[in-house]
Every structure is written in C-alpha cells, then in structure tokens.
C-alpha cells in the first residue's frame, strides 16, 4: 500500500493539475476575502462588529469544491488519457487503487485547504489590522474554523474519488459533482430538511458546527455519517471500477 | 507460459472473441495476427486482466493475471501507443509505473537507454511522435525485466529503422527464454520477427503454425499484362488455369508457371506487355486463411 500511495503522490506531482487548481484557488480566495473587507462600511458599526473570524475562513471555504474536483479527476483523468490501463496492470486489484487514490486525494484536499486558509489570512490579517479591527488570532473560533475546513476538504477529496470510480466519464463526473453537492443538496434541504440534513454536504457542515444547516445533526452522528459516506462511495467506486472492462 | 482456453467475449451484441484457445511457449516470438476488428486487442486485454471474459480462462505464468503477485514485474505489456498523460514527462511516466509496480527506480534510466529515448525523456509526452510514444510504452513494458512480453501492434508508428530495432529487441528477448507475443494486422510486419503465428478472424481461431508453414502455404502466381485480357483469360481457363483481375488491368494467374502462360499466349498470337513470376505474397496467404477475398 505504501508503494501505491507513493505512486499516487508522484502522479499528482508530475502533472500540472494540482498547480492549476492551486493557482485558481489562490485567485478566487483572494477575491472573496478582499471583497468584503474592501466594501465594508468603515464608519458604521457593521465593520467593527462583523464576525471577521468566520468571514475570513468561509472565504477560504471554496477550497472544498477544488478538493472535490481533485478527487473526481484522480480516476476520471486516468480513464480519459488511458493511463488507467498502466495503473490496473500494475495493481490488478482495483479496490486497492481506489483506496490509495482516496487517501491521497484526501491529503491533496488538506493541502488545498491549507493553501486557501493561508491566502485568506495573509490578506486579511494585515489589512484588517491596518483598519483597526485586527483578527483575534488567539481566538479559538478562528482556528476551529480553519480545522473544520481541513476536515471538509479531506472529506470531499476522498468522496470525489469514489464518485469518479462510479462515473468514469470525466465531464459527466465533474458536472454531476459540482451541481449535485453545492446546488441540489441545499435545495433538497430547503424543501425537506429531514432528508436534507442527512445529505453529504449537511453532514460535513454539521461536523464543523452546522453554520449552514438548519437543525444540524449532533457532532458524533455527523462524524459517523461522513465516514459512512466516504466508505460507501469508495466501496461503490471500487465495485464498479473492478467490474468495468478497460477496453 | 500463456494459455488461452475457450475464451469468449461479447460487447453488447457484438461478438469480439468466440471460443478461442491457443498456447504460447517461452523462447519464441509468437505473432498474433488477424484483420482489424478480429478480436486481437480484446484477447490481449483479457490475458492482462483488463477485460473479463464471458467464458473460458486466460492465464499467464500459470495463473490469471489478476492473481499474480506483483504481475507488472513478471509480465510486460504494451497496449496503445497513446495511453499517456500528455502533460507528464516521459521519464516521469516510467517513474510512476516503476513505483506502483515496486520496481527499483534505477531501472527507469536503463530502459530509457534500451529504447533510445534518453535524450527526450524529460520532455512532456504531449510533444512526442507516435514512434516515440511506442518506444516509451515499450520501455514501460520492459521495466520489470519481464518473463512474458505482450505487445499490441508495437510496430504502429515506427519507421523502418525503428522496425528493425524492434525486431532485434524482440528476437533478443525470446533468445533469453522469454515468451513474446506480438499482435499485428500486417503479416509482413511479424513474418521476419516471429517464429510462430496464431491467426484469428472475427473472434475465431483460424490457424496456429510456424511462419515457414504459413509462407509455404501461399502458392505463387504469374502477373501478366496484355491488351487482349478477355481472350487470354478464356485461353487460360480452357487450359485449366484461373486468372483473376489484378491491378491496372493486369491478370493474376494463381499456381501457374510463367513459361506455361507465355507459351499459351504465343501459340494463340496474344500480345503480352508484361509477364512476371510472383512469389506467394504473405498478405495473400493471410487473406486466404482469414477467408477474405482481395
């Protein structure tokens, strides 16, 4: 397994995918941190009273989508370029490939989260303090939010690999992932939260404190559910990939 | 070494392989021949555990590929020349394959040297020519110093020099006691390399014999050109020789001697513009065996 993990890391390091994801992420995070700070009313109460500790980190929250994308592309890009044949020739037990990719994509997700958080803080800390409202770097809330982002990105990276195993077509898998989780699931939650709060996005959100979910699950239940989602997606991805002919 | 026994596979309503059986022994280069779409690639992919057969078994080194521990170290395979990530450098592709196959990284530069790709190893594969991709694929197959080498259309995209180089390489591998199986849809491509050929057509077994036997099986013929083709054809038919229309209005008389044809024409005052003995073309034999008419 160590060799497989090392091989998956090397695959990521030898293409420019992660570089591009990282560069775009830096741009998007920089914009979404700068916008609220630049437009906040300096003279009113709003600026001073804003909860910047959570605003800054939620600007970095877009990293979850990039982590999901990295996870989905891990397998689908191999199908697209045909390198999957090399991969399965080296490791005919394909569930091991899915597992290795899942773990490495979770780590890639953590890396993207760290990058996003670092960019957000690098912009917000000096800017806010120059405007007289320094971030409370000693506050537990800020770092709890950053920690939550790391967990969420690891989750989405891991989940994406399973999805890519189920839906091999790269475009279909990417479109499905980026429409279903961020768009459809909140709609389902709005229609019927009894269903919605058990969906993957809400489960992860509940794990992080449930800011975006009405009536979020308690943390232990949310943890169990998110782990179950990863296990189910990996199992389904491995099952489908093992059965599918590489023709 | 390689054994295919009663393998069948269909994709939807298309039968790709039908009850196919053959064996490949070590120390030989075996050509795996058939027209495009005959089921060669499917058979090779079944052998390599990439495609599941509907029926039958395919084993390499005594076990199904999926059950071999560290198979990539014992079986080297080339599937399609273009199966690379275009943004990855050639050398990095081999490093990835080596790492996931638990092959020491020192082998990477060795096989690059073997396939004469060292100078381009640090370029991205997207900029490679087809021939360079073939060499890179071959390098990947050789990484594990394999006992069995399975190559799907390895000659595609190689220039004449590359073909010769490939031939020498494969002969060398076989002489070291390895089993080499190479597929092709062009008989002439493998005729000089292979000791034996397995021929399939439309998913079915056609023949398994030595190259000499296949070549000997092709009767020679005579190519003759005359302004009065219809009349010569009648004369030939009357003498028991069948003539078929060849290229550019020439007639091709199978199984005939040039002298016989020339004498016949002279007797009846038919003017000949050309009279050439043709050795049995490999492609003719091939087409004959696979039941296609040219």
Report which secondary-structure segment, H or E, holds A129. helix A94-130
Average pLDDT, integer, range B261-269: 90
pLDDT at B293: 45
Bridge-partner residues for B33, per DSSP? B184, B199
pLDDT at A101: 97
Inter-chain touch B51–A246, beta carbons under 8 Å: yes
Average pLDDT, integer, range A171-196: 93
What pLDDT band is residue A213 in, cutting at 50, 70 and 90?
confident
Inter-chain touch A7–B99, beta carbons under 8 Å: yes
pLDDT of A46 higher than 60: no
- Residue position matching structure tokens 């050789």: B142
pLDDT at B177: 94
Half-sphere exposure of B263 (CA within 13 A, CB side): 6
CB contacts under 8 A, A 44-83 vs B, are 77, 81-83
pLDDT of B107 higher than 90: yes
State the Cα–Cα distance between residues A188 and A179, nearest whole angstrom.
13
State the Cα–Cα distance between residues A77 and B66, nearest whole angstrom.
23
Inter-chain touch A246–B82, beta carbons under 8 Å: no
Which has the higher per-residue pLDDT, B252 or B141? B141
| DSSP label of A218 | P
Inter-chain touch B80–A247, beta carbons under 8 Å: no
Inter-chain touch A92–B101, beta carbons under 8 Å: no
State the Cα–Cα distance between residues A76 and A79, nearest whole angstrom.
5
Three-state DSSP class for residue B164: helix
State the Cα–Cα distance between residues A168 and A237, nearest whole angstrom.
9
pLDDT at A42: 59
Question: For the ranges A106-115, A128-137, B107-116, which has the lowest average pLDDT?
Answer: A128-137
Q: Quote the distance between the C-alpha of residue A153 and its chain's center.
A: 3
Both tokens of A42, joined, read 């300096």
pLDDT of B84 higher than 60: yes
Instruction: Examine the predicted complex and report whether its ipTM is higher than 0.95.
Output: no
| pLDDT above 70 coverage of chain B, percent | 92
Q: Whats the size of chain A, residue-wise? A: 247
**What strands lie across the sheet with B179-184, from one edge to the other?**
B75-78, B148-152, B179-184, B29-33, B196-201, B204-210
**pLDDT averaged over chain A?**
91
pLDDT of B2 higher than 80: yes
- Please state whether beta strands B196-201 and B14-24 pair in parallel, antiparallel, or not at all (unpaired): unpaired
| pLDDT above 90 coverage of chain B, percent | 56
Phi-psi region of B49 (alpha: psi -120 to 50; beta: other; left: phi over 0): left
State the Cα–Cα distance between residues B289 and B293, nearest whole angstrom.
10
Inter-chain touch A245–B50, beta carbons under 8 Å: yes
pLDDT tens by residue, A65-112: 999 999 999 999 999 999 999 999 999 999 999 999 999 999 999 999
Report the gap between the CA of B176 and the closest CA in chain A (Å).
24
Angle at A79 between CA A75 and CA A83, to 5 degrees: 95
Query: Does residue A24 sit at the B interface (CB-CB below 8 Å)?
Result: no
**pLDDT averaged over chain B?**
88
Q: What's the maximum distance between 2 C-alpha atoms anywhere in chain B?
A: 76
pLDDT tens by residue, B8-64: 999 999 999 999 999 999 999 999 998 888 999 999 999 999 999 999 999 999 999
State the Cα–Cα distance between residues A13 and B96, nearest whole angstrom.
10
Average pLDDT, integer, range B188-200: 88
pLDDT of B137 higher than 70: yes
Using an 8 Å CB-CB cutoff, list residues of chain B that contact chain A: 11, 41-42, 45, 48-52, 65-66, 68, 71-72, 77, 79-80, 82-89, 92-93, 95-97, 99-102, 140
What residues in A contact B148, CB-CB < 8 Å?
none
Average pLDDT, integer, range B231-249: 82
Bridge-partner residues for B109, per DSSP? none
């Amino acid at each position: 397994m160590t060799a497989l993990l090392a091989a998956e890391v090397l695959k990521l390091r030898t293409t420019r995918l992660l570089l591009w994801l990282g560069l775009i992420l830096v741009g998007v995070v920089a914009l979404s941190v700068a916008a609220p700070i630049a437009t906040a009313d300096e003279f009113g109460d709003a600026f001073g009273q804003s909860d910047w500790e959570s605003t800054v980190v939620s600007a970095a929250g877009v990293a979850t989508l990039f982590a999901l994308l990295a996870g989905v592309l891990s397998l689908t890009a191999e199908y697209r370029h045909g390198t999957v044949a090399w991969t399965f020739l080296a490791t005919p037990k394909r569930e091991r490939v899915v597992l290795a990719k899942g773990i490495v994509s979770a780590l890639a997700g953590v890396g993207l989260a760290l990058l996003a958080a670092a960019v957000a803080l690098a912009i917000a800390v000096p800017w806010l303090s120059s405007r007289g409202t320094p971030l409370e770097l000693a506050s537990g809330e800020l770092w709890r939010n950053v920690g939550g982002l790391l967990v969420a990105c690891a989750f989405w990276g891991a989940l994406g690999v399973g999805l890519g195993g189920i839906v091999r077509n790269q475009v279909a898998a990417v479109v499905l992932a980026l429409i279903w989780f961020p768009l459809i699931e909140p709609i389902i939650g709005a229609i019927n939260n009894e269903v919605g709060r058990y969906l993957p996005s809400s489960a992860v959100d509940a794990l992080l404190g449930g800011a975006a979910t009405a009536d979020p699950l308690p943390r232990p239940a949310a943890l169990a559910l998110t782990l179950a989602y990863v296990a189910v997606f990996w199992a389904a991805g491995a099952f489908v990939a093992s059965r599918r002919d590489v023709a | 070494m390689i054994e295919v026994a009663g393998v069948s596979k269909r994709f939807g309503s298309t039968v790709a392989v039908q009850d196919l059986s053959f064996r490949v022994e070590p120390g030989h280069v075996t050509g795996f021949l058939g027209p495009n779409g005959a089921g060669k690639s499917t058979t090779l992919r079944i052998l390599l555990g990439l495609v599941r057969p509907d029926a039958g078994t395919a084993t390499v080194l005594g076990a199904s590929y999926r059950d071999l521990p560290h198979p990539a170290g014992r079986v080297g395979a080339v599937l399609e020349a273009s199966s690379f990530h275009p943004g990855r450098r050639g050398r990095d592709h081999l490093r990835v394959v080596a790492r996931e196959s638990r092959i020491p990284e020192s082998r990477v530069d060795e096989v690059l040297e073997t396939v004469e790709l060292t100078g381009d190893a640090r370029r991205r594969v997207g900029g490679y020519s087809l021939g360079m991709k073939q060499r890179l694929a071959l390098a990947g197959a050789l990484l594990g110093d394999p006992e069995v080498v399975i190559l799907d259309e390895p000659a595609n995209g190689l220039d004449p020099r590359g073909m010769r180089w490939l031939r020498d390489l494969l002969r060398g591998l076989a002489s070291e006691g390895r089993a080499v199986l190479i597929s092709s849809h062009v008989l002439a491509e493998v005729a000089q390399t292979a000791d034996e050929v397995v021929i399939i057509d439309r998913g079915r077994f056609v023949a398994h014999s030595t190259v000499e036997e296949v070549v000997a099986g092709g009767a020679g013929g005579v190519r003759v050109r005359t302004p009065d083709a219809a009349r010569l054809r009648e004369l030939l038919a009357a003498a028991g020789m069948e003539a078929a229309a060849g290229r550019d209005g020439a007639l091709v008389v199978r199984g005939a001697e040039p002298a016989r044809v020339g004498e016949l024409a002279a007797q009846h005052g038919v003017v000949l513009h050309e009279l050439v003995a043709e050795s049995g073309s490999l492609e003719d034999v091939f087409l004959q065996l696979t039941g296609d008419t040219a």
